Chains A and B, each alone.
Chain A
Amino acid sequence: MKILIVEDDETNRKLLERFLSPFGEIRHAHCGQSALERFKEAHQADSPFDLICLDIMMPELDGHTVLKAIRSYETEFGKEGAKVIMTTSLDDSSNVLGAFKSGCEAYVVKPIDRQTLIHEMQKLGLVAGEPALAERR
């Protein structure tokens, strides 16, 4: 599985990387603009991301704008949709509803719980089950 972590905070980035690295190849984007560039480059290289973990509050382009741009690109070019999990500390209904309206598949609130994140990935059919402890190292 190919995973893009879009996160501007280093501590959050490290946490997500450690949670997700057992499940596939990780790429990082530190802001919304760079996320869109990586997303498009991956499509152009015919190697799109299966999962995008997307923060909302970021400089310049926020997560909502990035999500809309991702879905618009996929529609325009007839691409299969990446699974998008919002990973954010914004837990108010307008952010949650707005994100689902724009096409995210799941919404996980920080501080992120590893089990919750993996459970969401299981619901999306991205992982069958949890890797054994030894494989996580």
Chain B
Amino acid sequence: MTTDQLPALNRSAALERMGGDEEIYQEVWEVFSDDVPTQLEELKRLLQANERQTAERIAHSLKSAAGNVGAEQMSRTAAELEKRMSSAPNEDLNGLFDSLKQKFEEVLRLGTC
């Protein structure tokens, strides 16, 4: 399945992993929506500085953070960024970063409406 075929926000699957507890989902969502912008900024800075090893770790972190709330497209894009970090040219990584940021913004829109 391609990234775009995945749901942008699969809230019900995430909720199921949390035993159906809405309160847990809400708390995790709040941490996710507060913390991810900082991580994205850091990731951008690291990519600009070509500090790929640390950037790979941040992408890895974003992959699982997104996975927790059911942000499946975002999680997949972060995974791709992590996987390609050591070998891809800068322009590809920058493109993936832009896509990751867009997917996060979409998830925020979906999650707060």
Contacts and interface: CB of A to CB of B under 8 A. Distances in A.
B19 A137 contact: no
A13 B65 CA distance: 9
A105 interface: no
Contact of A9 (B18, B24, B64): B64
A7 to B, nearest CB: 10
Interface in B55-70: 57, 60-61, 63-65, 67-69
A58 B54 CA distance: 10
B110 interface: no
Interface string A30-70: 00000000000000000000000000011100000000000
A58 B56 CA distance: 11
Interface size of A as a range: 20 to 34
A79 interface: no
Interface string A1-14: 00000001111111
A18 interface: yes
A15 interface: yes
Interface of A: 8-15, 18-19, 57-59, 89, 110-115, 136-137
